[in-house]
Copies of this chain bind each other. A is one copy, B any other.
Amino acid sequence: MTSTNDLGQSDALAPVRLARIALTWLAEPGTWSVHRLVDAYGPIGALERLLAGDVPDRRVRTAVAARRAAGDPREVAAAALAHTERLGARLVVPEDDEWPAQVRDLELMTREGAGRVVDQETAPPLAIWVRGNHPLAEALNRAVAVVGARAATPYGDHVASGLGYGLAERDWTVVSGGAHGIDAAAHRGALNAGGLTVAVLACGVDRPYPAGNSSLFDRIVETGLLISEWMPGAEPLRHRFLVRNRLIAAATIGTVLVEAAARSGATQTLRRALAINRPAMVVPGPVTSAMSVGAHELLREHPAARLVTGLPHVLEEVGRIGADLAPLARAPRQPRDLLDDESAVVLEALPRRGVLDVDALAARAGLDLRNTLRKLALLEDLELVVRRDDGYALAVPSARPTTVR
């Protein structure tokens, strides 16, 4: 059996985690050229190339050079991972079972609908820091985003907390950005219903922003999750909110916008949902309110944006997805979920990288040689392992995670 860290995560993934942290530190999350490098060479290979300056994107080369002057990426990553564990947080990577596979749909984002936001950093996340006990993929498997203005009106607060409450009551996870106003109202509504809520931050999970919501964040950590693509200590820089918004849209089945000023950040979250064909719902408001201008703009500009006036309409939209159309990527249902115990043990016994001979494998798995070979044949059929001259290795996962549609 492989050993695990204090959080129950497999130690075998430590090198991958460190590489992804280093990549996050060297380039901002969402950077397309880095995402493509990782796709081609894996996180460790991508890091090597990035450090060697072997990346065509000049902007990224410049950023990497500047960062390296400030410290050694591998040391920074090691310190960050240790700090993460001390915080009681964890780093979830695409190689983990609890990775929410649906965020990969960001690759489908088109210029249409997203408008200028597509020029922002929009690639899928490299890694996600998590505070809270719930498995991430499970928490986001049945999730709706409720977002809106920081300077919400009492009307918006009322509507958002009502939606948060109602969704949570019906076992939907309520996802938002942890900001003042609509976000906080949605989180609070979900908490008051005893439901699950996830705050997606644009800064480190150790210092959730804004500080004024700290008691709210404390409540969220207790029963829900605080998550972020930035390492602990990261500042909530302005452009990070826009990058963060794409994760809110991609992590959920649909996004509801409650109040938004003209062209505000909250409207961007909805535009990103539209750009990846997720249900984008908008609550109208008084035309006399500046806090509804952005909402009405969206309804006028985007025929796909759906006017909703309350929980029944939202449930209709997301329920339809679940029941009939199911166009969304869900948490991956991996073949390993179907394995018998002994096959699972054999699979666990294989190293993440490299080849192990059958004798050593049987010893690590605690099984006899004949049984080990029988299970390896099964795993080979399932394309989970490959036979080499000198033993067996884990199969390289395909570029896209297997998703149940």
Q: Which residues of A contact B (CB under 8 A)?
A: 155, 158-159, 283-288, 292-293, 296, 299-300, 303, 306-307, 309-310, 313
Contacts and interface: CB of A to CB of B under 8 A. Distances in A.
Nearest to A258: B287
Contacts of A299: 284, 299, 307
A287 B288 contact: no
Contacts of A309: 287, 293, 296
A310 B284 contact: no
Given A159-B287, A285-B285, 12 more contacts: A158-B288, A284-B285, A284-B287, A284-B296, A287-B309, A287-B310, A293-B309, A299-B299, A299-B307, A300-B306, A300-B313, A303-B303
Given A296-B309, A309-B296, A285 B286 contact: yes
Nearest to A153: B286
A289 to B, nearest CB: 9
Contacts of A286: 155, 285-286
Contacts of A306: 300
A155 to B, nearest CB: 6
Contacts of A310: 287
Give the one of A287, A292, A296 with max B CB within 10 A.
Answer: A287
Specify how many copies of this chain sit in the oligomer.
2
Contact of A296 (B155, B158, B159, B307): B307
A288 B303 CA distance: 24
Contacts of A292: 284
How would you classify the secondary structure of chain A's contact residues: helix, strand, loop or mixed? mixed
Nearest to A300: B307
23 contacts: A155-B286, A155-B288, A158-B288, A159-B287, A283-B287, A284-B284, A284-B285, A284-B296, A284-B299, A284-B307, A285-B285, A285-B286, A285-B287, A287-B309, A287-B310, A293-B309, A296-B309, A299-B299, A299-B307, A300-B307, A300-B313, A303-B303, A307-B307
Contacts of A313: 300
A159 B288 contact: yes
A303 to B, nearest CB: 7
The 7 A-B residue pairs with the shortest CB-CB distance in the complex, in nearest-first order:
A284-B284, A287-B309, A296-B309, A299-B307, A286-B286, A300-B307, A155-B286
Give the one of A159, A296, A313 with max B CB within 10 A.
Answer: A296
Contacts of A285: 284-287
Contacts of A293: 309
A299 B283 CA distance: 12
A153 to B, nearest CB: 10
A121 to B, nearest CB: 32
Contacts of A287: 159, 283-285, 309-310
A182 to B, nearest CB: 14
A287 B299 CA distance: 15
A200 B288 CA distance: 28
A306 B287 CA distance: 14
A299 B313 CA distance: 13
Contacts of A158: 288
A310 B297 CA distance: 12
A119 to B, nearest CB: 28
